[in-house]
């Protein structure tokens, strides 16, 4: 049986560390953490992680300094985390050898998807079957967080994509709003289930105009909830 992949999470915000660590461990990763740049390098040399999640703004040695030091001896995948959405930071990080770049605040599930994608590209991920769902005129990939409709990439926030993916992966199944809330939003949701699900379905439908001509739709089941109604899956 394959050993767990390990992630070194480097961030000085304890709330971010707690949340991301929880999501990573739920996905089966072994997680080590560091809050300072110098401690991150010590942990890196001791544990030889499969991937590093690295904040730029760190006490002591900053994230760029850590990345430079890591790249002197290793090609381990690195995803940079930062609260600053500046082109200079992104370009510099990528030039120094970062594999991806995520700006705070970020959705934890999307970050996990980025982790999986980077590990697959660099050969560190497991060789699972492709998760892409394909219907006429539509493809949905949860790993890449990508929706292609009528040949065009659709800009879709994580929760919309996850809701669409869940319904499409259970094509024909009818789900109540509470069931969808539990499956897609999970433990971290607080709010009105009816309004939340309805609003997300409405936005998804708006982004997929003319979908009925392809033989599928996100159908309302009156008095119950929603289903992904597909005549053909191919």
Same domain? For 101 and 161 the reply is no
Domain finish residue from 121, 152, 187: 121
Q: What is the mean pLDDT of residues 127-140?
A: 79
Boundaries of domain holding 165? 133-230
Residue 88 CA from chain centroid, whole number: 24
Report yes or no on whether pTM surpasses 0.85.
no
Same domain? For 194 and 92 the reply is no
| Whole-angstrom distance, CA of residue 180 vs CA of residue 202 | 14
Q: For residue 208, what is the domain's CATH number?
A: 1.10.10.10
Residue 78 CA from chain centroid, whole number: 15
Same domain? For 183 and 113 the reply is no
Encode pLDDT of 2-22 as tens digits. Answer: 468 999 999 999 999 999 999
Please state the domain count of the chain: 2
Q: Is residue 48 part of a domain?
A: yes
Q: Is residue 1 part of a domain?
A: no
Q: Is the pLDDT of residue 58 over 80?
A: yes
| 39 band by pLDDT with thresholds 50, 70 and 90 | very high
Q: What is the mean pLDDT of residues 170-178?
A: 91
| 183 DSSP assignment | I
């Amino acid at each position: 049986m394959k050993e767990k992949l390990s992630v070194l999470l480097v961030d000085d915000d304890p709330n971010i560390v707690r949340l991301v660590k929880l999501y990573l461990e739920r996905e089966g990763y072994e997680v080590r953490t560091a809050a300072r740049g110098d401690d991150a390098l010590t942990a890196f040399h001791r544990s030889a992680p499969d991937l590093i999640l690295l904040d730029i703004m760190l006490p002591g040695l900053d994230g760029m300094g850590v990345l430079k030091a890591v790249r002197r001896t290793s090609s381990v995948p690195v995803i940079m985390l930062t609260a600053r959405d500046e082109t200079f930071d992104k370009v510099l990080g990528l030039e120094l050898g970062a594999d991806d770049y995520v700006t705070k605040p970020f959705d934890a599930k999307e970050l996990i998807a980025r982790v999986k994608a980077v590990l697959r590209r660099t050969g560190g991920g497991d060789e699972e079957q492709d998760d892409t769902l394909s219907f006429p005129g539509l493809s949905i990939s949860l790993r890449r967080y990508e929706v292609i409709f009528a040949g065009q990439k659709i800009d879709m926030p994580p929760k919309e994509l996850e809701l669409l993916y869940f319904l499409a992966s259970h094509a024909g199944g009818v789900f109540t709003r509470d069931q969808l809330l539990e499956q897609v939003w999970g433990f971290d949701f607080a709010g009105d289930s009816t309004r939340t699900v309805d609003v997300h379905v409405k936005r998804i439908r708006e982004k997929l105009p003319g979908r009925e001509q392809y033989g599928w739709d996100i159908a309302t089941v009156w008095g119950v909830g929603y289903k992904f109604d597909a005549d053909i899956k191919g």
